[in-house]
Amino acid sequence: MPMTISEKILAAHSDRPEVTPGDLVEARLDFAFANDITAPMSIRVFRDAGGERVFDPQRVAMIPDHFVPNKDINSAIQAKELRDFARDQQLPHYFEVGRMGIEHVLLPEQGLVLPGDVIIGADSHTCTYGALGAFATGVGSTDLGAALVTGRTWFKVPESLRFVFSGELGPWVGGKDLILYTIGRIGVDGARYKAMEFTGPVIESLPMSDRFTMCNMAIEAGAKVGIIAPDAVTEAYVRGRAKRPFRFYRSDPEAVYEAVHEWDISGLEPQVACPHLPENVRGVSELREVPIDQAVIGSCTNGRIEDLRIAASLLKGRRIAPHVRCIVIPGTPEVCRQALAEGLYEIFMNADAVVSTPTCGPCLGGYMGILAAGERAVSTTNRNFVGRMGHVQSEVYLASPAVAAASALVGRIAHPADIAAR
Site residues, another protein (CB under 8 A): 24, 37-38, 40-41, 44-45, 48-50, 66-67, 71-72, 74-75, 78, 122-124, 126, 138-143, 145-146, 188-189, 192-193, 219, 222, 224, 277, 364-366, 383, 385-388, 392
**Distance in Å from the first CA to the final CA of the chain:** 57
d(CA 128, CA 130): 5
The minimum distance between CB 8 and another protein, in angstroms, equals 21
CB closer to another protein, 34 vs 324? 34
- How is residue 99 annotated by DSSP? T
- Torsion angle, CA of 114/120/124/126, rounded to 10 degrees? 0
CB closer to another protein, 11 vs 396? 396
CB closer to another protein, 111 vs 275? 275
CB closer to another protein, 71 vs 316? 71
The minimum distance between CB 257 and another protein, in angstroms, equals 19
The minimum distance between CB 159 and another protein, in angstroms, equals 12
The minimum distance between CB 206 and another protein, in angstroms, equals 26
Handedness of CA 368, 373, 375, 378 (dihedral sign): positive
d(CA 109, CA 93): 13
CB closer to another protein, 193 vs 372? 193
The minimum distance between CB 295 and another protein, in angstroms, equals 20
> Would strands 152-156 and 24-28 be described as parallel, antiparallel, or unpaired?
antiparallel
Backbone φ and ψ for 342, nearest 5 degrees, come out as -90, 0
The minimum distance between CB 357 and another protein, in angstroms, equals 18
Which residues fall within 8 angstroms of residue 131, CB to CB, at 6 or more apart?
108, 208, 211, 212, 214, 215, 216, 226, 228, 234
As a 3-state breakdown, the chain gives helix, strand, coil percent values, each rounded to 5, of: 35, 20, 45
The minimum distance between CB 267 and another protein, in angstroms, equals 30
The minimum distance between CB 189 and another protein, in angstroms, equals 4
CB closer to another protein, 141 vs 234? 141
CB closer to another protein, 133 vs 390? 390
The minimum distance between CB 37 and another protein, in angstroms, equals 5
> Would strands 271-273 and 281-283 be described as parallel, antiparallel, or unpaired?
antiparallel
Alpha-carbon radius of gyration of the chain: 20
Backbone φ and ψ for 160, nearest 5 degrees, come out as -110, 145
d(CA 347, CA 308): 11
CB closer to another protein, 234 vs 359? 359
Single out the residue of 24, 2, 1 nearest to residue 10, CA to CA. Answer: 24
What would you measure as the largest C-alpha separation in the chain, in angstroms?
64
